[in-house]
Structure 1
Amino acid sequence: MEGVWAVRERLPIVELLKGLAIACVLGSFLAPLSGKTSTSAKASPPSIRVRLLQTVGFLCLFLAASAWLALVDKYVPEPYLDEVFHIPQAQTYCESRFFDWDDKITTPPGLYLLSVVYHKLWLLPQCTPSSLRFINLLATLLTAFAASQCRHLIEIRMAERDGKPGPQGISWYAYHTGLNVSLFPIIFFFSGLYYTDVVSTLVVLVAYRNHLLRIGTQRPSLANDLCTVMLGIAALFMRQTNVFWVVVYMGGLEAVHVLRSVQSDSQPSQQKLKLHDPPLNQSGAEDWLACLLTIAITALCNPAKVLRQVWPHIAILGLFACFVAWNGGVVLGDKSNHIATIHLAQMLYIWPLFAFFSAPLLLPSIISAAFHPVRYLQSLLFISYGRSSSRWSSLLNLSSTLLAILLSLEVVKYNTIIHPFTLADNRHYMFYVFRYTILRSPSLRLSLVAAYTFCRWLAWDTLSRGRSSRPIAEESPQADLNNTNGNEDAGKNPGSHPAEGVNIMMSTNPPLTCTSTSTALLWLLTTALSLITAPLVEPRYFILPWVFYRLLVPPWSSSSSSSSSSAATAVWGGGSGTSASGSGKTGGSGRASWWEEVDRTVDRRLMLETVWFLVVNAVTMYVFLFKPFYWRGEDGELLDGGRVQRFMW
């Protein structure tokens, strides 16, 4: 009850009105400009209903984050852990002493500069811990906004790539995805503390949104090129490792985009080598190799056009190289404890982390693996169906899987790095993960390769739109044609018509297109570069890899798997992309109400994901606030000055 009263005291009517105003603004301006439109009809403006629902979602997020911040201010009023460095440094900047620097801080001063601007704009007299923490609360709301826009633009670009009509408005899937990204436990937890991670994620998402708009135009303008450079610099001012995402990932995506557009503009007789970039759910090991080779060759054949598109990213890389040369290293301070090291085991740890946090998204694959294990393995290895059903392709895919397992065993045996910070600080959950698994025994450490492999399969299968749960017939062009006709027939069914105003509200069914092979490979490469150079295993380092993975996960359609997995269908019945006929009550006109239509088009996995994140957040917040402890020596004497210690990510 004391916590409830603390929330009520620190959320007066003025704060509630402020949150309502912010939610209204975000809800009203959620749908972004998508560059060139891929729809023949002009999108209708959002109705009052959609703006109301969007506003309610952002308001709920604001209230949850505000309650968390109020509790932190109540029970942890003084700077805690890394805040001991960040808050005094920000307060130093607020006093206009910009050349005073704490050598223990390793990250650039972007957050501190932003804090100065925020306090100047709102005429706040002091940079208190509470006011500084509030910046991350606002960044959490804006992260939901930016993530929704990014997912919406991804759906538009995928539709353009496949020659399909794009969504007229922001889809429920995109909107819900944005909210869940902000509820991601590692992000939401630090929305109540003054850390760099939340604002860093927001800035990278803004840069990603700019990238998605750039590839929607025939040729970016010089102003947009300069804007890209500025956003890249802003991302680097937050965290140095952001260079991989704004240079390698976004720059690589733009290079592939320009190569694809060059081929589409060429005459058939001029296309000596076609860019091989199939959807991820139709690609095997040989497709990955062909994709990499054709990208390299076509880039060498069109260097001028590629450089014209990606020069802003090259400029960002050049500026970063100049910084490293000037600074004598990547990190700003405490260089002795942050030495870049090849740590390949990071690419094994990422998959259980994804499986834990994204468990609701992985459930269809888990169900498929549980009820149809043989077919599940066959689908993952492309042994039984698809374009890669030849004996050679099956052998290649099986060999690549076995090779990955052998390499994983070698990495565990020879490249498991235990950073001193991991074992020296029992306030972090990772301390206990290592203590009870990796450090338990060498045999247990090696046996974990099976868990790494299975979690990787689940995550990859989910990213490829659950190919393990799709019937063989769906892989043929005729099946695609039948599926298209089926959708058209569903649209002609009077009982399946959306309620009047639903299309005006939001695009309820985003295009069920899959991530391309090149995008998945670029994500994998960027994730590897950002992780394997870090000797310390820190959950916060996995935020951006998870966020970009989450944005690429397509909506799940229960109708596509109903013929192959009755168990999955029983669990998921409905969901994104299902027809509306025969479900729910309809009005006298034979049309479902707008709320029933919304209910039918919501991806059930996302609802479970929201609940799962709320549960994880509630547990970790409770443990942080109400389960403190003290460090004691062997003789029982209090250590660290008797300060309270708390568990956290």
Structure 2
Amino acid sequence: MSATPASLDSGLTSQVLRYALVYAVIRLYVRGSQTQNASLIVVSILSVITLAGRQWLWFISKYVPEPYLDEVFHIPQAQVYCDGRYGEWDEKITTPPGLYLSTILFNRLFWLSCSVHNLRSFNVDIISYLAVAAMICRARFEQPQTRTRSLNTRYSSYAIGTGVNIALFPGLFFFSGLYYTDPISTLAVLLAYSNHVARAGKEKTSLGNDLYTLGLGILTLCMRQTNIFWVVVYMGSLEVVHGIKTLKPEPVEAPVLKTLPDQLKFYARRYSLGDIHDPALDLASPIDIVLCIASIGIAAACNLTLVVRRFVWPHGAVLTAFVAFVVWNGGVVLGDKPNHVATLHLAQMLYIWPLFAFFSAPLLITPIFHSITQVYRGLMSSATTPAGEQGRGKGSDDQSDSAGKQSATLKACNYFGSIPAIHSIIVLIGALAIAALIVKFNTIIHPFTLADNRHYMFYVFRYSILRAWWIRYALLPVYVACAWMCWTALQGGPVASPDGAQGRRQWHQSPFTKASSKVSPASSKKQSKEGRSGIPTPEPGASATTAPPTSTVLLLLLATTLSLMTAPLVEPRYFILPWVFWRLLVPAWPVSESTASCKETATPDTPRISLGRKLLSTRIDPRLVLETAWFLLINAGTMYIFLTRPFYWKTPDGALLDDGRVQRFMW
């Protein structure tokens, strides 16, 4: 039934009262101006997202008063539970009842009925809390030293903007006005992730926090089964990496290594002690990625007791509960099992990058421009520098003396390993080759994709890879280019320190680095604070502009692959969590110190600074504003089409199908 204005006003009044209660509790929880600022930030975000969500819900209640699409299953099931009939279950529903139980608990707490409007309204609350959870996650990345309550964390403008924009993500915000599982599933995973980041900031965790982690893991599985990849594979693996880094072996002098076996033995020994190779992503070349994987593998194999202690409890307990559920249920999905059979579908890892690039286009502009500029400068520098002077500098004589004592095999390996350009070319060719093999042998078109023209993905497939066989292969460069852009965005912008990236790179030596440093990578622990898994902190005073560790990005790629590769159906909702985690790791673009200080240096005698310089002087990443505007534009367009462009399914002779129900376009 349609929601009346009175019911809408009543719901909004209840919302305001709840947020007033939240504000009062925060103010009483910890006293101090910092906490007061935090409470204002939290309530402000809740209010902004709620107002947007309430407006969207109002339009849906007006134009689509009856349950639509998947709501046809979710809303009746929630109403059955609301009547106390917990033994009844719709066999068409594939996900656990976490959404329904949470909604009933929430509605009874605030004396709300289980009407269509009130059930949908639950997701409006959830999407606002999701924005706060995302903000807390990002803020903890930027301040890993904060190990107490999140209210003691300082929230940068980038963390606040990130939280708001994640909630406004079109593939997520659209469903805040409908009764779908996506908002609450994402919130549950973010709560678990926020707790993980706090755990990663400590060398030891308490039993209470372990039990809390276990509870959060079970909670995420009650929302959606595929969350197992995020709470166990991603977060559990990050904890293992963090545990390895806490070993902190004593630094040693790097000996003069004359043969390749000697070099391999030395670094394998260092890795086995926990001195893994894990530079920040902006310092990592393709060879660093290989070394990162190898070093973590060696360290994990040589420290099995630590791995078991960090992973088996509590993440292994969550995995055990999941396996028990699968055995009891006879499969992963609860209902409609014939239409949800796990299938190897590696093409998902090709489709994901154009989707990321489309939604996050504002974040990719500056990194791409910066990368192209750096390549151009490098080429021009190589062309204008005499060959005899290239590579010469301080310590070059020492390097020559050391190189003269090395075997020919070691010299060749070190030379090849120290040329990132060659590695990049190999990676590019390899990526294109793998993508071509996936397209040829593993392109799967699910029957639902072709049968349901209500989803945008139907038209994407229809007007791309289904038009002609050669289009599938013509898109290979697009897949690889979009993946490169997303990777570049994670690397962030140019380092603002005087030494720049080169000054930091000296503390991240690899076996193949040509450098005069005579210390092993272990000594970098005296100079660098990088070492907390999942937290981008490669140097003191970590900020919003810091790139994440290489291991974190690799584990994110692993979890994303596992979560998508078994889904035969291509649907934007499946990419929500991969995008959210990727977005949380994207660092802010550094603001020039000269520009940031223009506000301070301006005097009454100086000309009035421009609006653009004023914006930059606030240290707000301008990409955040563009991202917000872009999301609002996409949301407005998809909402308008959903509400005002209904259609009907008809037979060729004009007879109505699906009992004459109205159909609408959506994600």
* Aligned position for 1:563: none
Which of the residues 198, 218, 243 maps onto 1:258? 243
* Aligned position for 1:280: 281
Helix, strand or coil at the partner of 2:270: coil
Does residue 1:70 correspond to 2:70, yes or no? no
Does residue 1:150 correspond to 2:137, yes or no? yes
Helix, strand or coil at the partner of 2:363: helix
CA distance in 2, matches of 1:138, 1:50: 19
Deviations 1:121-145 (A, max 9, x none): 1222x31111111111110010001
Which of the residues 580, 592, 595 maps onto 1:559? 592
CA distance in 1, matches of 2:376, 2:23: 46
Rate the CA distance shift 1:455–1:64 in 2: closer, same or farther, 3 A: same
CA distance in 2, matches of 1:343, 1:16: 44
Tell me the percent identity: 48
* Aligned position for 1:332: 334
Q: What TM-score, normalized to structure 2?
A: 0.79
Does residue 1:531 correspond to 2:564, yes or no? yes
CA distance in 1, matches of 2:506, 2:241: 26
Which of the residues 224, 228, 247 maps onto 2:232? 247
Deviations 1:372-429 (A, max 9, x none): 77569999xxxx99x9996654323321221111110111111110000000000000
Verify the 8 A CA contact 1:474 1:480 in the aligned structure 2. no
> Counterparts of 1:9-48 in structure 2 under 5 Å?
11-12=8-9, 14-23=10-19, 45-46=33-34
Which of the residues 403, 410, 428 maps onto 2:437? 410
Deviations 1:448-467 (A, max 9, x none): 11111111111100011146
* Aligned position for 1:637: 655
Verify the 8 A CA contact 1:427 1:648 in the aligned structure 2. yes
Helix, strand or coil at the partner of 2:204: coil
Task: Give me the CA root mean square deviation.
Answer: 3.7
Does residue 1:309 correspond to 2:313, yes or no? no
* Aligned position for 2:597: 580
Verify the 8 A CA contact 1:30 1:149 in the aligned structure 2. no
Verify the 8 A CA contact 1:143 1:182 in the aligned structure 2. yes
Does residue 1:82 correspond to 2:100, yes or no? no
CA distance in 1, matches of 2:571, 2:592: 39
Verify the 8 A CA contact 1:342 1:532 in the aligned structure 2. yes
Does residue 1:432 correspond to 2:448, yes or no? no
Letter in 2 for 1:523: L
CA distance in 2, matches of 1:81, 1:377: 55
Rate the CA distance shift 1:511–1:422 in 2: closer, same or farther, 3 A: closer
Which of the residues 614, 636, 644 maps onto 1:618? 636
Helix, strand or coil at the partner of 1:344: coil
* Aligned position for 2:575: 542
How big is the shift at 1:6?
A: 9.0
* Aligned position for 2:547: 514
* Aligned position for 1:180: 165
> Counterparts of 1:490-505 in structure 2 under 5 Å?
none
CA distance in 2, matches of 1:16, 1:106: 32
Letter in 1 for 2:424: N
How big is the shift at 1:281?
A: 1.1
Letter in 2 for 1:298: A
How big is the shift at 1:308?
A: 1.9
Rate the CA distance shift 1:97–1:20 in 2: closer, same or farther, 3 A: closer
Helix, strand or coil at the partner of 2:248: helix
Rate the CA distance shift 1:557–1:534 in 2: closer, same or farther, 3 A: same
Verify the 8 A CA contact 1:6 1:74 in the aligned structure 2. yes
Which of the residues 344, 347, 357 maps onto 2:346? 344
> Counterparts of 1:77-226 in structure 2 under 5 Å?
77-124=65-112, 126-157=113-144, 169-226=154-211
Helix, strand or coil at the partner of 2:633: helix
Rate the CA distance shift 1:586–1:347 in 2: closer, same or farther, 3 A: farther
Does residue 1:238 correspond to 2:223, yes or no? yes
Give the number of equivalent residue pairs.
578
Give the unaligned 5+ runs of structure 1.
Answer: 34-41, 162-166, 482-507, 561-573
Rate the CA distance shift 1:388–1:625 in 2: closer, same or farther, 3 A: farther
Rate the CA distance shift 1:199–1:584 in 2: closer, same or farther, 3 A: farther
> Counterparts of 1:448-467 in structure 2 under 5 Å?
448-466=475-493
CA distance in 2, matches of 1:224, 1:358: 35
How big is the shift at 1:438?
A: 1.2
* Aligned position for 1:476: 502
How big is the shift at 1:537?
A: 0.2
Does residue 1:320 correspond to 2:322, yes or no? yes
Helix, strand or coil at the partner of 1:476: helix
Letter in 2 for 1:632: K
Deviations 1:608-638 (A, max 9, x none): 1011111111111111011100111100111
The higher radius of gyration belongs to 2
How big is the shift at 1:28?
A: 7.7
How big is the shift at 1:475?
A: 2.6
Letter in 1 for 2:588: P
How big is the shift at 1:599?
A: 5.8
Deviations 1:10-46 (A, max 9, x none): 642x544444445556678889x9xxxxxxxx99733
Verify the 8 A CA contact 2:168 2:628 in the aligned structure 1. yes
- The more displaced of 180-189 and 360-369 is 360-369
Verify the 8 A CA contact 1:247 1:317 in the aligned structure 2. yes
Rate the CA distance shift 1:627–1:375 in 2: closer, same or farther, 3 A: farther
CA distance in 2, matches of 1:95, 1:410: 53
Rate the CA distance shift 1:638–1:252 in 2: closer, same or farther, 3 A: same
- The more displaced of 397-406 and 332-341 is 397-406
Deviations 1:333-379 (A, max 9, x none): 11111110110000010000000110110111343467677569999
* Aligned position for 1:565: none
CA distance in 2, matches of 1:284, 1:84: 50
> Counterparts of 1:287-302 in structure 2 under 5 Å?
287-302=288-303
Helix, strand or coil at the partner of 1:97: coil
How big is the shift at 1:207?
A: 0.5
Verify the 8 A CA contact 1:580 1:597 in the aligned structure 2. no
How big is the shift at 1:215?
A: 1.6
* Aligned position for 1:353: 355
Verify the 8 A CA contact 2:598 2:617 in the aligned structure 1. no
Rate the CA distance shift 1:160–1:226 in 2: closer, same or farther, 3 A: closer
Q: What TM-score, normalized to structure 1?
A: 0.81
> Counterparts of 1:380-395 in structure 2 under 5 Å?
392-395=419-422
Rate the CA distance shift 1:7–1:59 in 2: closer, same or farther, 3 A: farther
CA distance in 2, matches of 1:47, 1:300: 44
Verify the 8 A CA contact 1:283 1:517 in the aligned structure 2. yes
Verify the 8 A CA contact 1:43 1:168 in the aligned structure 2. no
How big is the shift at 1:509?
A: 9.5
CA distance in 2, matches of 1:453, 1:472: 33
Helix, strand or coil at the partner of 1:272: helix
Letter in 1 for 2:656: L
Verify the 8 A CA contact 2:599 2:617 in the aligned structure 1. no
